[in-house]
Structures are given as C-alpha cells and as structure tokens.
Amino acid sequence: MNEVRTIYPKDLPVPELHSYLLGAIAPRPIAFASTVDEEGQVNLSPFSFFNVFGANPPTLIFSPARRVRDNTTKHTLENAKATKEVVINIVNYAIVEQMSLASTEYDKGVNEFIKAGLTEEPSLTVKPPRVKESPVQFECKVVNIIETGTEGGAGNLIICEVTALHLQEQILDISGNIDPRKIDLVARMGGDFYCRANGDAIFEIAKPIREKGIGIDQLPEPIRHSKYLTGNSLAKLANIEVLPTHEALAHVKMPGFDSQISAHAQAEILLQQNKHLEAWKLLLMDLEKA
C-alpha cells in the first residue's frame, strides 16, 4: 500500500517547497525570452513557468519568479515592465545546452546571445531580437504583468499577446502542421533534469470528441475489477460508444492465446500495444468461460 505524505506550504521553507513544486509539476515547456532595456541592451533568459492560454487573441504567459535565495528580480522582468515587448523563443534539443548556458546570471548589460553562441535575428513587430536557431519564435507585446507576491519565490505573470510568429520549415509535416518528432522539443523537470519529447517519449491518445465513451462504470464487472488491468487500460476499453459483440469483432484476428496465463494479463499487454479490439476479443472469450 502506498503511503501518502501530506504537506502544508506554510510549514516548509520556501526552497524545499519550490523543489517539490518543480519536481511534481513537470515536464514544463521553456520560454526562452529575449528582451531589451530602455537603452536597447539585449537580454536572453529561459523560464519554465510558461504556457499558452488562448488563441483569440493568441496569449502566452510566462513568469520570471523572484529569486528564492535573496528576493531579487530578473532582468527579463525589469525589461518587460519598461518596454512592454518580448520574444518567446521555443527550445528544442539542438539548442538545449546553449539555452542552459544563457541561464547563467550574468551582470546587467551582458548579452547572453553572445555568451551562448546564438544568433540575433531582427524581429518584425517588436524591438527584441529573435533566436535564429529556435524552431519557433513568438514576437509579443506585453499586455499585463501580475505580481503574485513580494517575497522570494513569488511569481510575476507576464501576459503576452503574439504579434507575429516564425516557424522553421524543417519542423513541418507535409500538411503544414508542426511534426512533434521533427521539432524535437525539450521540457524542464525538477533539479537538473530535462525531458526530450521525441522517439519513445511521444505517443498518441485519440481525443474523445466525436464519440462518447461508455465510461469505466459501464464495463462488465469482472473487467472493471480486474487485478491485471490498469486504470489506463480500463479507460482504453471504455472509450467506445457501445460494448462490442462477437459479431462486431468477427473481422479481428484472434491474438495468440496462452491458456496458462490469465486472459486479463494478456489483454493488458495487448492494450499497452494499443491493440484495443484484440484485447476486447480476448476478454469477451474469457467472459463466456466464466
């Protein structure tokens, strides 16, 4: 039985709470933000408190949090407040080490593009330059900045509206959509860890939009209470509009069946391979034997 530790934020030092939050809420996309100050000095820094929050208008939000150790703020925040402009460059595996190097806390006025060996590309609608090597670059105007607190670790939500976006042609599939394998994104985990969204890390789940799944509660009881079928597998079985019949599955080739192994255990393997119909056929045969 899994034991559960309950934690109340007020009872923990902020650095320890910060570690739990970043370890649990992951992987997080990375906003590689380029800004300029009022004198035109360029700054480039990554932030993993980041996501997209709407398409009309196109809205991105990232948060340069106040430093936990000394409650200071970052140059990106100061620049965004002063100029109301930012470019959010997306990070993929090809530039992840350069992105990490740019996160070094250089003195104000030091250009992280130069330190990280990245190329400044002029923007079309805002003053900050884009990262030429980034697979996607979002030029943005800053709509609002919301401070969530004034102590170390507090967030500063920079709400941005996209004014232009740039896509490298090489990341697109033949339909003109972004191919998740070609873009090869990376995401932030806790501590020093990252996640690469490529290869075996990418999988598909059909969205239940057009069909209404019957739900796990409508599965036959022996299946619903199986000791072999996981919650994920039960959800796969339940994402159908009606329970299948032998007639409906007549065209499905019967998988190899080992009578010495539980049908549910074999169905679990089939479901992990996304062979939903084969698993149903096996389970229906087992139900008839019961």
- pLDDT tens for 279-290 read 998 899 888 886
The pLDDT tens digits for 82-108 are 999 999 999 999 999 999 999 988 888
Domain with CATH 2.30.110.10 in the chain: 9-198
Report the 3 state secondary structure along the chain: CCCCCCCCHHHCCHHHHHHHHHHHCCCECCEEEEEECCCCCEEEEEECCEEEEEECCEEEEECCCCCCCCCCCCHHHHHHHHHCEEEEEECEHHHHHHHHHHCCCCCCCCCHHHHHCCCEECCCCCCCCEECCCCEEEEEEEEEEEECCCCCCCCEEEEEEEEEEEECHHHECCCCCECHHHHCEEEECCCCCEEEECHHHCCCCCCCCCCCCCCHHHCCHHHHCCCCCCHHHHHHHHCCCCCCCCCCCCCCCCCCCCCCCCHHHHHHHHHHCCCHHHHHHHHHHHHHHC
Domain boundaries 9-198, corresponding CATH code: 2.30.110.10
**223 pLDDT exceeds 80?**
yes
Q: Answer yes or no: is pLDDT of 250 > 70.
A: yes
138-177 pLDDT tens trace: 999 999 999 999 998 899 999 999 999 999 999 999 999 9
At 205 the pLDDT is 75
Q: What is the pLDDT of residue 2?
A: 76
List the single range of 60-74, 154-168, 172-186, 241-255 with lowest mean pLDDT.
Answer: 241-255
Percent of all residues in the chain with a pLDDT value above 70, rounded to a whole number: 97
